[in-house]
């Protein structure tokens, strides 16, 4: 008999196994299945308990012997327990999303709320809104079915919304460049919450944060619903602090460490050290550019010029930034393009390796910093951008001290 796991169609980028490893001492595995495998699995009842994710939260209902009141109210199931041969369906997404709002201090009482999307998750979020005395709830979808309004109608007639809650897959890995709605038209926004947890910050969340609007993705919801599911599986109650503790551990493990700084400032050396200590993959975007282009950076500059190199750099930065929990060393000029910063902050925390140009050694293979004069010029041009875009400034001079500083401040 299988023990515990996550039932879904595509689970390659799920965090659930790691989360459950922090919750309790039980075997929990991803259970990827197509629709034609689902019937036999559920009828055999050869498991103790499973979480259920997209696209099976409603598909599994006919196989259940019982449903809890929470699952009945929402009309979807995200966990199933096998109790003496009876399959009991439950839904902890309600508690997960409610806890996400509470963690961020988001009050819905009397507020005008837009829920983006009309799927099963939308129904869960709608139930949370109703339980928190929301002033008015408007669902938004592309087709405006089932009483929803279109995105254009939302911008024209509901631009006084105070809260936006995204339940669509827009912006979810691997479609990280998409965004369900622009925020420019909404001048009274107080908060934006997204159920998506991969990437850690969707484009929607990043846009809200740039406007100084309270915003967060769905990682805390994911952790909270998993803890509640495990309580349901085990017939137990965990300490109230468990969700926060696990959230902090998962967030730390999934956050990329991004190194920015001048050429020859030691980013690659420090990045390699950090990756070895934390046992993370190391990605150097300059090497990635050379691999993709199949030529060296000096050759790219000589043959195609700097403008072409910067376009290749954008693609390499995007490629690296889609990972979670890696160490990334960027080229000296990567911070010059805003799209690079946005991509790097999607899953990462930026550490600026601050070294004065007097301590940097120019070499002929650095096309924009090949002598002391060029090095100083680039430093003066870029320093304000380095500091503005960094989440933390690494000011320790030695490699060992700088490495320690980064790990301590992750």
Domain of 24, CATH number, reads 3.40.50.10860
- Which residues are known catalytic residues? 57
Do 2 and 46 meet the contact criterion of CB atoms below 8 Å apart? yes
Are residues 50 and 116 both part of a single domain? Answer: no
Q: State residue 368's pLDDT score.
A: 57
Q: How many domains does the chain have?
A: 3
| % of the chain at pLDDT higher than 70 | 97
CATH of the domain at 295: 3.40.50.300
Do 346 and 210 meet the contact criterion of CB atoms below 8 Å apart? no
* Residue 73 CB neighbour total at 10 angstroms: 16
Determine the Cα–Cα distance for residues 336 and 129; give it in Å rounded to an integer.
42
Confidence grade of residue 308 (pLDDT, cut at 50, 70, 90): very high
User: For residue 217, what are the contacts with CB-CB under 8 A and spacing of at least 6?
Assistant: 194, 195, 196, 197, 199, 200, 201, 202, 205
**pLDDT at residue 233 greater than cutoff 70:** yes
**pLDDT at residue 31 greater than cutoff 70:** yes
Are residues 188 and 238 both part of a single domain? Answer: no
Closest of 359, 397, 395, 159 to residue 264, by C-alpha? 359
Are residues 402 and 260 both part of a single domain? Answer: yes
Do 50 and 7 meet the contact criterion of CB atoms below 8 Å apart? yes
Determine the Cα–Cα distance for residues 316 and 363; give it in Å rounded to an integer.
23
Q: State residue 409's pLDDT score.
A: 95
Residue labelled with tokens 């109703």: 130
Confidence grade of residue 363 (pLDDT, cut at 50, 70, 90): low
User: How deeply is 123 buried, as exposed, middle or buried, from its count of CB atoms within 10 A (0-12, 13-18, 19+)?
Assistant: buried
CATH of the domain at 181: 3.40.50.720
Are residues 182 and 309 both part of a single domain? Answer: no
337-347 tens-digit pLDDT:
999 999 999 99
Q: What is the mean pLDDT of residues 387-405?
A: 96
Are residues 330 and 390 both part of a single domain? Answer: yes
Are residues 368 and 264 both part of a single domain? Answer: yes
Are residues 385 and 269 both part of a single domain? Answer: yes
**pLDDT at residue 365 greater than cutoff 70:** no
Are residues 268 and 338 both part of a single domain? Answer: yes
Do 285 and 312 meet the contact criterion of CB atoms below 8 Å apart? no
Q: State residue 373's pLDDT score.
A: 79
Please provide the average confidence, as pLDDT, over all residues in the chain: 94
| % of the chain at pLDDT higher than 90 | 88
- Domain region containing 10: 2-91+226-246
3-class SS at 192? strand
Q: What is the mean pLDDT of residues 351-365?
A: 79
Determine the Cα–Cα distance for residues 410 and 407; give it in Å rounded to an integer.
5
Are residues 367 and 388 both part of a single domain? Answer: yes
Do 78 and 59 meet the contact criterion of CB atoms below 8 Å apart? no
Do 169 and 198 meet the contact criterion of CB atoms below 8 Å apart? no
Q: What is the mean pLDDT of residues 218-236?
A: 97
Are residues 197 and 330 both part of a single domain? Answer: no
Are residues 285 and 400 both part of a single domain? Answer: yes
Are residues 304 and 402 both part of a single domain? Answer: yes
């Amino acid at each position: 008999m299988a023990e515990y796991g996550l039932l879904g169609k595509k689970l390659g980028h799920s965090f659930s196994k790691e989360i459950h490893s922090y919750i309790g001492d039980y075997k929990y595995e991803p259970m990827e299945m197509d629709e034609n495998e689902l019937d036999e699995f559920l009828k055999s009842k050869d498991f103790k308990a499973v979480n259920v994710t997209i696209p099976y939260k409603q598909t599994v209902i006919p196989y259940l012997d019982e449903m809890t009141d929470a699952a009945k109210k929402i009309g979807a199931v995200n966990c199933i327990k096998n109790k003496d041969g009876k399959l009991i369906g439950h839904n902890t997404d309600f508690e997960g999303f409610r806890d996400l709002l509470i963690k961020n201090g988001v009050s819905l009482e009397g507020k005008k709320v837009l829920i983006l999307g009309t799927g099963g998750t939308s129904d869960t979020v709608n139930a949370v809104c109703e339980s928190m005395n929301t002033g008015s709830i408007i669902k938004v979808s592309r087709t405006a079915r089932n009483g929803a309004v279109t995105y254009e109608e939302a911008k024209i007639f509901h631009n006084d919304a105070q809260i936006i809650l995204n339940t669509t897959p827009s912006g979810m890995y691997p479609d990280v460049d998409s965004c369900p709605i622009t925020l420019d038209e909404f001048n009274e926004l107080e908060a934006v919450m997204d159920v998506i947890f991969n990437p850690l910050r969707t484009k929607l969340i990043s846009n809200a944060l740039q406007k100084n609007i309270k915003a967060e993705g769905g990682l805390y919801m994911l952790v909270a619903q998993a803890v509640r599911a495990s309580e349901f599986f085990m017939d137990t109650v965990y300490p109230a602090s468990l969700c926060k503790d696990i959230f902090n551990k998962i967030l730390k493990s999934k956050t990329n460490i991004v190194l920015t700084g001048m050429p020859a400032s030691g980013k690659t050396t420090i990045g390699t050290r950090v990756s070895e200590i934390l046992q993370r993959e190391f990605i150097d975007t300059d090497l990635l550019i050379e691999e993709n282009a199949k030529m060296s950076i000096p050759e790219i500059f000589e043959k195609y010029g700097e403008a072409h190199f910067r376009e290749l750099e954008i693609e390499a930065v995007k490629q690296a930034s889609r990972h979670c929990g890696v160490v990334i060393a960027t080229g000296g000029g990567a911070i010059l393009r805003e799209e690079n910063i946005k991509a790097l902050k999607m899953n990462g925390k930026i550490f600026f390796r601050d070294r004065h140009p007097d301590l940097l050694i120019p070499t002929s293979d650095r096309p924009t910093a090949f002598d002391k004069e060029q090095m100083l010029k680039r430093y003066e041009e870029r320093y304000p951008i380095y500091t503005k875009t960094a989440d933390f400034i690494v000011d320790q001079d030695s490699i060992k001290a700088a490495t320690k500083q980064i790990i301590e401040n992750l």
